Amino acid sequence: MAEITDKDSKLLTCKMKLAFKDVYKLDFSKLIWLDGSLWRLNKISDFNVTKTETVNVELIKVINRIY
């Protein structure tokens, strides 16, 4: 909750190519290292199980790892 309400919070929306096995092994508690910053997975939308194509992914920047 602190990451959402903080004045320095950032939300990144991007497109990623995910296969079924990527989503099957997905863990929302693990952090993602992207471009020199830590991000937390918030949402995946438009995922199709039958096709490997790009999906919309929403990430929230990790501000503080200790609360």
Instruction: Kindly report, residue by residue over 23-53, the tens digit of the pLDDT.
Output: 889 898 899 898 888 999 999 998 988 888 8
pLDDT 10s digits, 48-67: 888 888 999 999 988 876 65
d(CA 12, CA 64) in angstroms, rounded, equals 17
Q: How far apart are CA 10 and CA 17, in angstroms?
A: 22
- pLDDT of 13: 94
pTM: 0.76
Q: Are 30 and 39 in contact, with CB atoms under 8 Å apart?
A: no
Distance (Å) of CA 11 to CA 41, 52, 53? 10, 25, 22
